[in-house]
Structure 1
């Protein structure tokens, strides 16, 4: 059964990220970082002072003994011993001041954290292995700017030692961890805000923008033109987030301001393969599970976090059931498959099917009913963490995964 812990803090949470485990695939991480946004003005010279927090998650073994009397006359008893794991509230192990809203967080590796700012800056932090302290390192200041002032760096993506950043200025920067200046700048990559970015290959990135476009870029090429451009069908709807399948890089998921989850097969031409409609407002983040990609998670301005699971028989051999203790959302009109935008879809992928009669995924609510926007979500092993505008962190353990 999934368990949910809530930790109330004094800040609105804009971003959360699990620290990579030292034994990826064998042991889950027990440490994550969070960033805040929209703190009140605390100085005449600094617009906003927010915070970066590093959290430690602990648990303890809990043994329950149930005794049953065997006979009215016999005083002998048998014991049913059950061992469960009780999760404790996460504790802060390190804290750093952050100038401006924390707009994105990424781990370049286990010991290197990158934080993006609404001031147009990217700051690196070294994470000490023993004490989990955040030590400020290299800073790239003002790499996103308009004519007269800096503007927010909206997102980052990491591939090895390279970091790609985007901003409201429509610019793409490629940073290198050991270089003080960007090694590549695409100055006029877009005429509107670039809202999210992800690497599809070492030298290839995917961006989504406020005009509802998904673009593929080869950062080795000169000029400021993308390799390919994809569009959502119908009206232009801003896309806020993007993630790629961890083992099928041609499969990309994006979330929009109308609550729609869009699936693209980059081997197809221009249009998304599948559109799902389940959230009632902006989708702020979309995450494939890094080691169990038949599971995908989205969070929304409507206050919900959804767990998307492929149905049995479609790329999965295990049964799909709702998370214990939480309602399952209906896969029907308004909650499931909206349309198949192209024909001849690849049925080898559990997320894509040529069968338009029903959705290929089950959709379940992860959290109890909420009213405040959920801005961010990240998943590691069978644990999920998310942050809200209600100044709360939610930690969900023992997720059921395919």
Structure 2
């Protein structure tokens, strides 16, 4: 098992989402968490690390900088940039917050700047969850239990497009393939690709995973440098690798963990390393064996092709536990430079420094 500097902090709430505040040049010292399954007491919280040179133990526990009550479970958190963060809940609402006070003497806090109330709705007072949100430049896409995709312009704060009845089964996750194309996954192991430039009734591609059993897609990740490669996590713990140029499933990877995957994330600067967390309480690092590639296949120096070569995936894939399994769902993880953070249903946040890549 790889060695990491690992810390844990009990926060008293089940953590459903966790995100580092992006920083371009420096290592981030702030992150945001969202809780769930706490009746009327769910929150979005802004945390700060307290790094001091030579004193690793001062990083954790983090300092709680701000806490904002949410009307419902937090279902997704996405940063637009290093100042603004979008938060969705299971009551169908999406809110946009700004991190303020960083370079001033005032308290650092989250300030609400926009709100889209009941963006997803079933009508007649029925609760309708916003299941996922995706950000691309100044556009935001949302999906909900109402089988609807909303495209919001973050410049005008208006709903630019609303695509109704986009699926015959519950929607699970969404991402932007390009600035004008969104990918939407559902519980029938389908991926649907929508071109936002054409008439809203036209679907570009309906891509089916033709397997014996239709296993729900639970999470999605895009390769950081080769955007046409899409990775999906399933309810059975497998990872599918898709080439959106041919709308085909290239290969399926497995770790031996058969519990549903809750999140997939590539290291943004080292894309031959992918991380996953699962309902079964495992946090895994999926890696190509660089040294093996260099020694045995010197012609192939483009490691990013590793993921789509079936033979290499089967023989050179290394999958390791990053932390000991906790036997409670790990719902979310995020990576920023050499540090990783994750949140779980055991009401703890785990912080890992000095990732070995």
Same fold (TM over 0.5): yes
- Residue 125 of structure 1 deviates from its aligned partner by 0.6
Q: Distance in 2 between matches of 1:259 and 1:348?
A: 22
Given that 1:62 and 1:85 are in contact with CA atoms closer than 8 Å, whether structure 2 keeps it comes out as: no
Given that 2:264 and 2:274 are in contact with CA atoms closer than 8 Å, whether structure 1 keeps it comes out as: yes
Aligned to 2:169: 192
Given that 2:253 and 2:313 are in contact with CA atoms closer than 8 Å, whether structure 1 keeps it comes out as: no
- In the alignment, which of 297, 308, 312 is matched to residue 352 of structure 1? 308
Shift of the 378–99 alpha-carbon distance from structure 1 to 2, 3 Å rule, reads same
- Residue 261 of structure 1 deviates from its aligned partner by 1.0
CA RMSD, Structure 1 to Structure 2 (Å)? 2.2
Aligned to 2:52: 60
Q: Distance in 1 between matches of 2:313 and 2:289?
A: 14
Q: 1:309-320 counterparts in 2 under 5 A?
A: 309-312=287-290
Aligned to 1:220: 197
Q: Distance in 2 between matches of 1:249 and 1:215?
A: 16
- In the alignment, which of 215, 235, 239 is matched to residue 217 of structure 2? 239
Given that 2:22 and 2:81 are in contact with CA atoms closer than 8 Å, whether structure 1 keeps it comes out as: yes
Matched, 1:384 2:356: no
Shift of the 262–300 alpha-carbon distance from structure 1 to 2, 3 Å rule, reads same
Matched, 1:268 2:268: no
User: Unmatched 5+ residue regions in structure 1?
Assistant: 41-47, 64-83, 320-345
Secondary structure, aligned partner of 1:229: strand
Aligned to 1:373: 329
User: Unmatched 5+ residue regions in structure 2?
Assistant: 297-301
Q: Distance in 1 between matches of 2:181 and 2:44?
A: 29
- Residue 354 of structure 1 deviates from its aligned partner by 4.1
- In the alignment, which of 136, 139, 148 is matched to residue 115 of structure 2? 139
Given that 1:253 and 1:264 are in contact with CA atoms closer than 8 Å, whether structure 2 keeps it comes out as: yes
Aligned to 2:299: none
TM-score by length of 2: 0.90
Q: 1:296-315 counterparts in 2 under 5 A?
A: 296-312=274-290
Q: Distance in 2 between matches of 1:385 and 1:348?
A: 24
Q: Distance in 1 between matches of 2:304 and 2:129?
A: 40
Secondary structure, aligned partner of 1:182: strand
Q: Distance in 2 between matches of 1:28 and 1:62?
A: 16
TM-score by length of 1: 0.81
Q: Distance in 2 between matches of 1:117 and 1:100?
A: 6
Given that 1:175 and 1:183 are in contact with CA atoms closer than 8 Å, whether structure 2 keeps it comes out as: yes
Q: 1:2-81 counterparts in 2 under 5 A?
A: 2-21=4-23, 24=24, 26-40=25-39, 48-62=40-54
Deviations 1:315-335 (A, max 9, x none): x7599xxxxxxxxxxxxxxxx
Using the TM superposition, name which of 86-95 and 48-57 deviates more. Answer: 86-95
- Residue 348 of structure 1 deviates from its aligned partner by 6.7
- Residue 89 of structure 1 deviates from its aligned partner by 1.7
Secondary structure, aligned partner of 1:263: strand
Aligned length: 343
Q: Distance in 2 between matches of 1:348 and 1:16?
A: 26
Matched, 1:122 2:94: yes
- Residue 110 of structure 1 deviates from its aligned partner by 1.0
Given that 1:18 and 1:32 are in contact with CA atoms closer than 8 Å, whether structure 2 keeps it comes out as: yes
Give the number of the structure whose residues are more often helix, by fraction.
Answer: 2
- In the alignment, which of 131, 134, 139 is matched to residue 154 of structure 1? 131
- Residue 263 of structure 1 deviates from its aligned partner by 0.9
Aligned to 2:158: 181
Aligned to 1:252: 230
Structure with max Cα Rg? 1
Aligned to 1:291: 269
Given that 1:188 and 1:224 are in contact with CA atoms closer than 8 Å, whether structure 2 keeps it comes out as: no
Aligned to 2:76: 104
Q: Distance in 2 between matches of 1:350 and 1:260?
A: 17
